[in-house]
Structure 1
């Protein structure tokens, strides 16, 4: 099975490393020049829970030629459509495309390039970081939950679950994965943009009464929009999950902080809080916190001249 990792940043490297160590035929795709060069010249270096170096193919998406059996999407949300355009030549009639991106609504973009019967949507709580180009920081444990969007793709999706589990990625087939996707989106919605705007860790944000109240209000908006969209969510359970996640990640700067504050790169806010700000009014639900958060992040991007 030929597997491409489309978007080989931190989490893409984690999945690529796990698959390659298990002898799977996996290729990393990315557009970050120095990252590609570092891995091509020195291999993918792993630090954290283990220290290792593995030789693994990596290239620009347009350089790949073999038709894919499986493509795992790990781009940033705003890069998704461009990546799909660049890998169209790799997508055959039977190619399965699996999306594990943060945020909401990615399946609507993927449908423009991939038949629904070949789309697998999911969520992962594996984490990773980059120490620099070509070096991934892998710590802790995680899991993957996936679902085929079309009933005809269920058996193939279950084969992919087996592929991931053979590589230690702790995958499960889920008959209804969307509540899990929304639950993770609630965590990101409460902490990602807020920590970026306040230049603080998750623990510092949740450690104040004001911060905690803001997180609760954001979560309420997510849950109300989710319920109105037909997603089965329990607000008390979701808030408890958000709190638990904040404790586990107390010393962590979320990815949006790394993008906005550290690296002055565009953020994924439109696919997290921005989704709620857009959908809420359409459903007759007020979403003032998510609207303000989205506006503030874009204002900060403008101040920093980020495009």
Structure 2
């Protein structure tokens, strides 16, 4: 399969390199100039796993305006707030038969993608996979080989032959895919997890394991999940887990799968980048308000995260 990955960050690199190693023709299309330059000069990407065995993986990389091919599949893996600019810059190589897949954190990019391809050609979903970008062109895959899971769903909720081919390529790449027919339910599962783990770990400068070891973690998690579920149900979301099951997933992922991991929002914070809190907790707040509900805990976390961003920026002026 001919695949173009837009964004050579932590997750874009992990997806692209695993799919390349599984035998696909993968190109990286990188809008961020420091990353493009580093990978070009290195002749590839330095890949580690759990901080060990760093090695150079040769890859093809292009700036958006220079990419000459028409891929069968585009994987969009920039930050949510960069989706519109990235899709506009890459629209020239998205053909009539091209599918676009997003496993980005938060919710919002599908509405951007819809401007370029029909719903039948959009595959959304979530990634329960941890990766860290140590520097431009240097990525650390967290977890043992074959660890982590991906969950995919057509926006139309009607899987077709090409989608099933994508799922098979993900399976061969060791990404443990599950194909669902519940688009919003799939996205909200990760949204709720991120609204707890990403934001709180970032604000408190702690790992996922340290959060769930806190004596009050269960009560705090329940409060955030309840607000999210109330908003989602009012918006017509068919949740795939009960509230209790969602809490169990958060605690399992944090205590057993990635206890030492600091989520992507933390990585953005310490590296001086804008966070995606408006597309995670902020999205829940907006949906709640649309239905005349309150999500006060999520609203507070959004304000605190933006305060932390402002303080960080002032320190570096």
State TM-score, norm by structure 2. 0.89
Shift of 1:35: 2.4
Q: State the match for 2:287 in structure 1.
A: 279
Runs of 4+ in 1 over 4 A off after TM superposition: none
Distance 1:99 1:231 in 2: 19
Q: 1:107 aligns with which of 96, 110, 129?
A: 110
Establish whether residue 44 from structure 1 lines up as the match of residue 45 from structure 2. yes
For 1:210 and 1:136, the matched residues in 2 are separated by 33
In 1, are the aligned partners of 2:207 and 2:260 still within 8 Å (CA)?
yes
Question: How is 1:81-120 mapped onto 2 (pairs within 5 angstroms)?
Answer: 81-120=84-123
The number of residue pairs the alignment matches comes to: 305
Partner of 1:255: 264
Aligned to 2:75: 72
For residues 77 and 304 of structure 2, the distance between their equivalents in structure 1, rounded to whole angstroms, comes to 26
Change (3 A) 1:159 1:196: same
Alpha-carbon spacing, 1:188–1:151, altered in 2? closer, same or farther (3 Å): closer
1:57 aligned residue: 60
Q: Could you say which residue in structure 2 is the equivalent of 1:219?
A: 225
3-state DSSP class of the match of 1:92?
coil
Alignment match, 1:179: 185
User: Could you tell me how far apart the structure 2 residues matched to 1:38 and 1:16 are?
Assistant: 17
Question: 1:1-307 maps to which residues of 2 (within 5 A)?
Answer: 1-42=1-42, 43-48=44-49, 51-140=54-143, 141-150=147-156, 154-233=160-239, 234-248=242-256, 249-260=258-269, 262-305=270-313
Q: Secondary structure at the match of 1:4?
A: strand
* Cα distance in 2 for residues equivalent to 1:70 and 1:290: 35
* Alpha-carbon distance, 1:153 to partner: 5.7
Please give the root-mean-square deviation of Cα atoms over the aligned residues, in Å. Answer: 2.0
| Distance in 2 (alpha carbons) for counterparts of 1:59 and 1:252 | 30
2:244 and 2:138 map into 1 onto residues whose CA distance is 39
Task: Return the alpha-carbon distance in structure 1 between the equivalents of residues 224 and 299 of structure 2.
Answer: 10
When normalised by structure 1's length, the TM-score is 0.92
Is the 1:67–1:90 Cα contact (8 Å) retained in structure 2?
yes
Unmatched tracts of structure 2, length 5 or more: none
1:211 Cα shift? 4.4
Residue 145 of structure 1 contacts residue 177 of structure 1 at CA under 8 Å; is this kept in 2? Answer: no
SS at match of 2:8: coil
Q: Determine the C-alpha separation between the residues in 1 that align with 2:158 and 2:277.
A: 33
